[in-house]
Structure 1
Amino acid sequence: MHQVETMAYAGAKPWHGLGNKLQPNQSIDDWKESAGMNWTIQNSEVRYITGQNGIGTINSFPEQKVLYRSDTKAPLAVVSKRFQVVQPGEILEFYRDLTEVGGFKLETAGVLREGRKFWALARTGQSVSLKGRDRVDGYLLLATACDGTLATTAQFTSVRVVCNNTLSIALGDNRGAIKVPHRSQFDPSVVKRQLGLTVSTWDAFVARMKALVEHPVDPDSVDGLLRRVLTYPTPDGSGVSVNEQAFKTARGLYDGAGKGSELASARGTAWGVLNSVTEFVDHQRRARSDDHRREAAWFGQGAQIKQKAWDEVMKLIA
């Protein structure tokens, strides 16, 4: 069962092989059309009927509103009347000046869960090769949901080309993301200012990646780190247990099963350990579908696991 409703992509085929392929450098309007983001979210007052068997008086409930699609009229969510909607088109419009004058290139955009969640991902043009062969590219992800499951979130992300692993790039103390809750108006210019679309974030990230590449780790340290990261809460809520299956899989990825694990940058290094976790989360972690796994890796529990792994490897090079 696919979460992806509609999607467009430029470049390599995405993780689930779906979507409309676009030639490079298409206009934002072409992206809206191909990604299925050329509709709007509309709203209506909540109404209910009092009486037996649905026959009776129609009443209104002004505290809430129903959000629905302009094209299919399908319902999306019931939200507070104070909920500020961000439209699918606004997510792509955010990138208009970035692609036209900023050197960014849109790579994927689309709609999840019948229209409740939508996103766009663009390459920033920043790139580094670690030890000459291990390329990591910079991206900017913008996503939102109209059902209350996600604030409008802008975050820098890196993609390790050899294995397509993703990792959020920390912005100072910001944990890698700018979040605009739906009780506030989404103002693209403010978000761009907060992101500080500059090279400094990327440069600091590159410096950390290079430090991880240069930091050797012994087998015991690898085991300890993976066991600290790959845990789950105990059923009684008193603590955490190691997820032994996840540990085994990630350890195997580190030991040579992972894509790029044999590269000089990763073999026996802290960078290699980090990538064993990101590859596990992005491609191996148990999920109902590839789409569910990808969504968790970007926004959910998977993203939290990767953040824990990043925090742990940062301690190694502190």
Structure 2
Amino acid sequence: MAHQVEQMAFVGRTPWHGLGNKLAEKQPLEVWMTQAGLDWSIHETPVRFMSGNKGHLGEILSFDDHKVLYRSDTHDPLSVVSQRYQVVQPREIMEFYRDLTEKSGFELETAGSLKGGRKIWALARTGQSGVIKGNDRTDAYVLLATACDGTLATTAQFTSVRVVCNNTLAVALNGQSQCVKVSHRSVFDAEAVKKKMGISVSAWDDFMYSLKTLSERKVKQSEAEKFIRSLFQPRPDQVEQKANERAMGKVRALFDGEGRGAHLPSSCGTAYGLLNAVTEFVDHERRARSDDHRLDSAWFGQGASLKQQALSKALALAA
């Protein structure tokens, strides 16, 4: 099946999803835009349709309440949206990082598009990191993404990557994801978003303290089993029970030693190990039509939701 990824670029080691064109570090945004396949614009035009019976040319009419969005380079249609819809251009996603990379020490790590350009993102490493016992390091990132097909508001969020396994997890504090969402009914203001995010050391330090707390909470096998079942089979009559049993079996195996970094002191038999078993399952092991479908789910869809549920349940276990 064809990939959802239109094109993307990355620096450093190959991303966990295994996709993209490798760049040298410290490239200007203009190079990023070209290599990530984001050097195009979203254009719009009124919706037109033809009236009349089949086989006969009818009158060309307009649907004034809606407009068609399409790519400037290929002219491929992207979506039909209301006239109130505010477009966020690929260039705006990249420009969000200009002052962060030029003045604040951020480094772009990956950028690209999914579904033929309907979803666009860029991810930058902030330079912050944290280490818990066993030299288990997690790095901080800021992800900015938007969509023009109604599936995603323009979203800026803190996210983390555990280095030993490349597992990704949105940063959350007190059960709340550290993100800012801008509806497509509003104009995207990059500076206002950055101010609202409060790109600061304190949010990251609090998140790392939570991970440290999880790494110190030992769990019994019965607790691990209850944790896994609460995520994948909250109701005994749940549909797709066999698929859920397979998923639970894989997460158990990852927790019991098959997972990357599962034998580190931070993870072995701990609530942090349970969380990492779920994030590794979502990012690397969960069944998907392709790697890019898995990426879409892990960052923006059901996979991202499952990881946040796992984080909340793990923190509750450690409370």
TM-score range, shorter chain: over 0.9
Moved more, 124-133 or 191-200: 124-133
Q: Is the 8 A contact 2:130 2:208 kept in 1?
A: yes
Separation (CA, whole Å) in 1 of partners of 2:235 and 2:97: 39
Q: Give percent identity, aligned residues only.
A: 56
Counterpart-to-counterpart distance in 2, 1:192 and 1:312 = 29
Please tell me the residue identity of whatever aligns with 1:108. Answer: T
By how many angstroms is 1:13 displaced?
Answer: 1.6
Q: 1:65 to 1:55 in 2, by over 3 A?
A: same
Partner of 1:60: 62
Q: Structure 1, residues 192-247: CA drift from partner, whole Å, max 9, x if none? A: 0111010011000011111111111111111111111123778888xx99921111
Hey, what does 1:298 align to over in structure 2? 299
Query: For residue 121 of structure 1, what is the aligned residue in structure 2?
Result: 123
4+ long deviations beyond 4 Å: 232-237
What is aligned with 1:89?
91
Match of 1:207 in 2: 209
Q: Give the TM-score normalised by structure 2.
A: 0.95
Report the CA distance between 1:29 and its aligned residue.
Answer: 1.0
Displacement after TM superposition at 1:30 (Å): 1.0
Aligned counterpart for 2:222 among listed residues 220, 223, 226:
220
Give 1:104 shift: 0.5
Contact 1:231 1:241 in 2 (8 A): no
Structure 1 position 132, deviation (Å): 4.2
C-alpha contact (below 8 Å) 1:126/1:137 kept by paired residues: yes
Asked if structure 2 preserves the Cα contact closer than 8 Å seen for 1:211 and 1:317, the reply is: yes
1:14 shift after superposition = 2.6
1:33 paired to 2:34: yes
Q: Deviations over 1:141-196 (max 9, x none)?
A: 11111011111111111000111100000155642321111111111111101110
Distance in 2 between residues matched to 1:38 and 1:160, nearest whole Å: 31
The answer on whether the counterparts of 1:138 and 1:158 sit within 8 Å (CA) in structure 2 is: yes
Task: Kindly provide the amino acid, as one letter, of the partner of residue 221 in structure 2.
Answer: P
Q: Tell me how far 1:289 sits from its aligned partner.
A: 1.1
Q: Measure, in 2, the Cα distance between the counterparts of 1:48 and 1:232.
A: 47
Residue 171 of structure 1 contacts residue 177 of structure 1 at CA under 8 Å; is this kept in 2? no
With over 3 angstroms needed to count, the CA separation of the structure-2 counterparts of 1:172 and 1:225, relative to structure 1, is closer
Shift of 1:111: 1.1
- Looking at structure 2, the residues matched to 236 and 271 of structure 1 have their Cα atoms a distance apart, in angstroms, of 27
TM-score by length of 1: 0.95
Unaligned 5+ runs, structure 2: none
Aligned residue identity for 2:268? R
Moved more, 48-57 or 305-314: 48-57
Count residues in correspondence: 316
Q: Deviations over 1:65-85 (max 9, x none)?
A: 000001111111010010000
Rate the CA distance shift 1:17–1:272 in 2: closer, same or farther, 3 A: closer
User: Distance in 1 between the 2:243 and 2:122 partners?
Assistant: 35
Q: Tell me the residue number matched to 1:261.
A: 262
Q: C-alpha distance in 2, partners of 1:306/1:83?
A: 30
Q: 2:251 aligned with 1:250, yes or no? A: yes
Matches within 5 A, 1:229-244: 229-231=231-233, 243-244=244-245
Distance 1:244 1:311, change over 3 A: same
1:141-156 equivalences in 2 (<5 Å): 141-156=143-158
Q: Secondary structure at the match of 1:255?
A: helix
2:21–2:35 contact (8 Å) kept in structure 1: yes
